[in-house]
Amino acid sequence: MFLNRPLLHCAKRLHRMLIGAERMCMPAPTIEQFLEAVTTTVLANERWVPPSDKGSLHIRPLRFGNGPVLSVTPAPEFTFLIYVTPVGSYFEGGLKPINLVVENVIHSATPGRVGGIKAIGNYAGIMKAQAEAKTSGFSDFLYLDSVHNRYVEEVSTANVFVVKDNTISTPALGGTILTGITRKSIIEIAQSQGFKVEERLVSVAELIDADEVFCSGNAVCVMPVGNISFMERREEYERVDLWCLSSSTLH
């Protein structure tokens, strides 16, 4: 995130970390501490940065509680660290369109809990559905809201965008999906190019009827969706106009 994107994105990620820290009763580093930690770690691992056409250096900040306490209560001590690793494409096949399956039994988050922050527990709950999706030959799965079980929320580790004509729709931020930094950048890019962007409830029916679908995230960046399976139906998407625009601009 530091090497091939504006430094401003580091500040945006720290802001998101501050929100998550407050929700989880954890202290957080200052912007100066955060940037120094990122810069120092990246420079110390400069030899591991892959060529830009081969991959990138993934940067991951972590905070966790530690100390002599066993009860369900905020920890007395906390550790903040940065680790980096060279990565290629998040999905096998590089930038080839991925295939998704809609999961309508397992849900990632419920209103009022921690689905809107980057908490590790949010990922633990979706591992079974993700493993089953990959065993069945899918790249990943897309889950629905836990209240109505009919509105699109996210791919397991990415935000999702649905395109119809000149309108781009993406699930609204309501506390159950992550406030994606790449998501926000895509919205700004699309609006600057004259597209209408709607942040709202997006139904499965709209997903199936879309002209184009793509997803975004820190590790995923921007990835086109080739097809989506739901129940007994499989919908193919051939258009990749918005994915191409977003991907080329972000890089």
The residues, ordered by sequence, that sit 6+ positions from 140 with a Cβ below 8 Å of its Cβ are: 91, 98, 100, 130, 133, 134, 155, 156, 157, 158
What are the two backbone dihedrals, phi and then psi, of residue 73, each rounded to the nearest 5 degrees?
Answer: -155, 155
Told to judge if 96 belongs to the known catalytic residues of this protein, a careful annotator would answer: no
CA–CA gap between residue 66 and residue 83 (Å, rounded): 18
Q: Where do the DSSP E strands lie in 131-242?
A: 140-144, 152-155, 159-164, 167-171, 196-200, 212-217, 221-230, 233-236
In the set 12, 96, 118, 164, the catalytic residue is 118
Give me the active site residues, please. 118
